[in-house]
Amino acid sequence: MLLMGLVIFGFMWLNQPSEAELAQRRAEIAAEQAAEARQAEAAASLGVVDTITATEIAALKTTVKQFGHVSGEGDDAVYALANGGVSVSMKGNELSGDITLEGGSSGSLAEALASTTDNVAFHNRLVAKVRELISIYTKNGSFANFLNGRDSTLVLENEVLKVEISSLGGQISSVTLKDYNDHKDFNVDDVNPVKLFDASTNGYSFILNTHSQRFDTKDFYFTPMQLNDSTVVMQLDLGGGSKFGIRYTLPSGRYDVAMDVLQEQMDKIIPANIPTLDFSWWQKMSRHESGRMFEERNSALYFQYAGGSVDNLSESGSDDEQLQDKLKWVGFKNQFFSSILICKTYFSGASLESHAIPADNYDSRNYLKNMSMESSLDYNSANPIPAQFNFYFGPNLYPLLSSYDELVSPDEDLHLTKVIPLGWPIFRWINTGFIIPIFNFLGSFIPSYGLIILIMTILIKLILWPLAHKSYKSQARMRFLAPDVKALNDRYPDKEQAMTKQQKLMELYRQAGASPMSGCLPMLLQLPILVAMFTFFPSCIELRGESFLWVKDLSAPDAIVSWDAQIPFITNYFGNHISLFCLLMTVTNVIYTRINMQNQAGGQSMPGMKMMAYLMPIMFLVFFNNYAAGLSYYYFVSLLITIIQTYAYRHYVSEAKMRAMMAENARKPKKKSGFMARLEEAQRQQQAMLAEQQRRKNNNGKGRR
C-alpha cells in the first residue's frame, strides 16, 4: 500500500501542469473568449441573437450561490453578487439583476437571458458581459470578489519614516525618509524629503497556487484595517471562514517595517500539498544625488546566501543571475539608501535582474536602474502565519545597519553592512576597525565634518610618524649626497663600470644612513589608508549635504566652473566641471613630486621617470575631479602635511653631522651580512665575466688585423 501510494503521488507530481502549460492554457482561454466576443459581434451584425445556454445558466446560479453574499434563511435566503458591472441576485432558483456596459448604457439580466430581442447588438453585449462574469469566477474563485474596488491608502508614520500602504495589492506603495532631503535637482538646500519610491516605481506581490490556478495579490483590492498607530492589516475575506491578509508593523524610531502573511482556513482554497508560495518584487530605482555617475556606480542589487556570504549583481551595466541556493535577504541598494527585504526563514533560490537605464534615456534624469527578483518560499496553507519578513527602508549608515542584526535577526548575522562598499578585505578592515569608529567618535561632539576630516588626517599622520621618521631623515640626507652621487657618475661613466659605480653608491648610502627609496616610503606606508579612504568617502552618508568653506556637499564634487559640452573620452571620468579641492590636490601633488625629485640625487639622469612622476598628478586630476569633495580635501590636506614634514626634516637634519657620521662609519670595519656577501660575490663574478668578454673581443680584433 505504501509503494502504491508513492507511485500514485509520484505520478501526480510528475504529471502536474508546468508553468508554461498553465500560461498556454490561460492564453487559450483568452483566445477562446476573444473568439466568442468576435462571434457575438459578427452575429449581432448579421442580426443573429446570441443566447445563454442552459449549462451557462446553471454555472451562473452556482457562481452566485457559492460566491455571493447571503441574506435571510431557508426559502427566504437571497444570494447577491456584484462584479465587473454585473449585479445578480438569486432567490430560490430565480435569477434577477442589472448589467452596466462600458460607456454607461445598462440593461437587465432578464434581457440577457431572453432568447429574442428587438435590439440584437445591445442584447449580445449583455450576453457577453454575463459570460465574462462566469469566466472571472471560474478563473479566480472567491478571489474574484476583490478584482474591483476603490484604491485607498493607510499611513504608518514614526519619527524617521513615513510608509503608505495601498489597498490595491495590499502592498507598501510609498516610502519617505524624513531626515534626508533629495538632491537630484542639483540643490542641496532642497527641502523635499527623500522618497525611495511610489506606486509607479515599486511593486511586489505574493502568488498563491493551486494545481490549475494562480492568484496574484497585486490584482486584488484588500480591505484595510488599522489596528493601532503602528499596525495595519490588509485583508481578503474569501468567505466560508477563509481569509488571507498581510500585516504591517512600524516600530517607533526605526527604519524597518515588519511584514507578516496571515491566513485562516486557506486549506479550503489552496490544497495542502502545495508546498511553496511565490514572491515577486521589482523597483525602478530613483535618483537622489546631483552626480549621476557616482550614484549609478554605487547602486546594485545585493543578496545574502543562507551561509552568510553577501554578493551582488554588477554595479556597471546590466546583469542577471539564476540562483538555486537559499537566500536570507535581497536588497535594492542605492549609493546612500537601500530597500532590503529580509526573510525570517529563507527564499528558495531566486531569479535576479538589474538593468541600467542609459544616460541618454529620458528617464535617466530621475532614475538609475530597473531591478527585480522572483523567488519562492516554503508554504503551508494550514499555517496561520506562513511567512514573515522585515523591510529595511533607510540610509546606508554603518552603525545603523550593524545594529539591525540584533533587532531583526539576533540568532544570525545578516551582514547588512556589506551593502556599503568599503573595498577589499584589508581595506574594509581598516575602515571598519579604525576609520569609521574614529569618524563616529569625532562626529559625536564636533559639528563640522570638514574639521573632522582635518583632525582625522592629523591623527593618521601622527600614528604613522614613528614608521615614517627614519624615512624622512633618509630623504633629507639624500639632498646632501647629490654632489657625491654626481661625482661618482662622472668618475664611472662607462657601462662596463656600472657594477663598480653601484657598489660605491651603496657604500655611500650606507655611510650616510640614506636610501634612494626614502621619498617613496612615506607614501607606501600610507597607501593602505589612502585606498581605504578612497572607498570610504563615496559611501559615507554622514557627509551628504554637509557644507565646509565653499563646499555645499562634501559627498559630491565641489564644482566651481561647469559647462554643458561633452568632451569625448574624458567626460565620463572628468565630468562637466572643475572641482576646486581636486585642483588644489593636484597642485599640491605636483609640488610634492618636485620636492621628491629634488631629493633623489640621481633624478636628473632619468628624464623618462621624471616625466612620468609629473604625469601622475595630472591623471589624478582627471579621475578624481568627479569624486566627493571630502576625498579630494583629505588627499590635499594629507599631501600638505607631508610637504611640511619634509621641509621640517630638512631643517632638522644637519649636513655637518651627516658628514661626521659618514667619516666615522668609513673608519669602522665593514660588517657584511650573508646577503651582502652573496651580493658582492655575484657582482665580482659578473665583473670577471665582463672583463673576460672584453679580453676576447680585443683578441679577436688583433687576429683580424
Rounded Cα gap, residues 51 and 40, in angstroms: 10
Residue 672 has pLDDT above 60, yes or no: no
Q: Can you give the pLDDT at residue 577? A: 79
Residue 571 has pLDDT above 80, yes or no: no
**pLDDT per residue as tens digits for the range 238-291:** 888 899 999 999 999 999 999 999 999 999 999 989 999 999 999 999 998 877
Phi, psi (rounded to 5 degrees) for 342 = -110, 125
Supply the DSSP symbol for 206: E
Least confident window among 129-133, 402-406, 581-585, 592-596: 592-596
Q: How far is CA 527 from CA 116, 419, 463, 521, 522, in A?
A: 91, 24, 14, 10, 9
Amino acid at 312: N
3-state SS of 56-93 is HHHHHHHHHHHHCEEECCHHHCEEEEEECCEEEEEECC
Mean pLDDT of 494-515: 64
**pLDDT per residue as tens digits for the range 159-183:** 999 999 999 999 999 999 999 988 7
Strands (E), 201-287: 202-209, 214-216, 223-228, 231-239, 242-249, 256-264, 276-286
186: which residues sit within 8 A by CB, 6+ positions away?
A: 290
Q: Which residue has the higher pLDDT, 524 or 165?
A: 165
Residue 215: pLDDT band with limits 50, 70, 90:
very high
Mean pLDDT of 696-702: 67
Q: Which residue has the higher pLDDT, 87 or 186?
A: 87
Mean pLDDT of 223-247: 92
Torsion of CA 267, 268, 270, 273, to 10 degrees: 60
Rounded Cα gap, residues 305 and 327, in angstroms: 4
Mean pLDDT of 562-576: 69
Most confident of 87-101, 494-508, 685-699: 87-101
Q: Can you give the pLDDT at residue 41? A: 64
**CATH number 3.40.50.300 is the correct assignment for the domain at 153-421:** no
Helix (H, G, I), strand (E, B) or coil at 207: strand
Residue 137 has pLDDT above 70, yes or no: yes
Q: Can you give the pLDDT at residue 454? A: 94
Residue 328 has pLDDT above 90, yes or no: yes
Residue 449 has pLDDT above 80, yes or no: yes
Least confident window among 11-25, 244-258, 519-533: 11-25
DSSP annotation string for 310-367:
EEE--SSS-EEEEEEEEEEEEEEE-SSEEEEEEEEEEEEEEEEEEEEPPTTSGGGGTE
Q: Can you give the pLDDT at residue 520? A: 60
Phi, psi (rounded to 5 degrees) for 205 = -160, 160
Residue percentage of the chain with pLDDT more than 70 = 76
For the chain, helix (H) and strand (E) counts, in that order, are 19, 24
Q: How far is CA 578 from CA 176, 312, 534, 616, 628, in A?
A: 33, 33, 19, 18, 12
Least confident window among 23-37, 326-340, 592-606: 592-606
Rounded Cα gap, residues 156 and 162, in angstroms: 6
Q: Which residue has the higher pLDDT, 651 or 432?
A: 432
Say how many Å lie between the first and final Cα of the chain, rounded.
110
Residue 543 has pLDDT above 50, yes or no: yes
Cβ 207 vs Cβ 278: under 8 Å: yes
Rounded Cα gap, residues 331 and 283, in angstroms: 10
Element (H, E) at 95: strand 94-100
CB burial string 337-351: b at 16+ within 10 A, e below: bbbbbbbbebbbbbe
Residue 603: pLDDT band with limits 50, 70, 90:
very low
Mean pLDDT of the chain: 83
Rounded Cα gap, residues 90 and 624, in angstroms: 76
Rounded Cα gap, residues 561 and 563, in angstroms: 7
Least confident window among 53-67, 376-390, 560-574, 634-648: 560-574
Q: Can you give the pLDDT at residue 575? A: 72
Rounded Cα gap, residues 131 and 49, in angstroms: 15
Rounded Cα gap, residues 190 and 184, in angstroms: 9
Q: Can you give the pLDDT at residue 275? A: 93
Please, is 213 exposed, middle or buried when counting C-beta atoms within 10 Å of its C-beta (0-12, 13-18, 19+)?
middle
3-state SS of 549-604 is CCECCCCCCCEEEECCCCCCCCHHHHCCEEEHHHHHHHHHHHHHHHHHHHHCCCHH
Provide the residue ranges of all domains of the chain, joining segments of one domain with +: 35-145, 153-421, 436-663
Helix (H, G, I), strand (E, B) or coil at 147: coil
> What's the grid cell of residue 436?
569609521
Mean pLDDT of 129-138: 90
Most confident of 13-22, 114-123, 326-335: 326-335
Element (H, E) at 494: none
Residue 347: pLDDT band with limits 50, 70, 90:
very high
Residue percentage of the chain with pLDDT more than 90 = 38
Q: Can you give the pLDDT at residue 462? A: 87
The residues facing 249 across adjacent strands are: 231, 258
Residue 418 has pLDDT above 70, yes or no: yes
Residue 53 has pLDDT above 70, yes or no: yes
Element (H, E) at 607: helix 607-624
**pLDDT per residue as tens digits for the range 424-441:** 888 999 999 999 999 999
Q: Can you give the pLDDT at residue 250? A: 96
Residue 676 has pLDDT above 70, yes or no: no
**pLDDT per residue as tens digits for the range 486-500:** 666 666 666 666 666
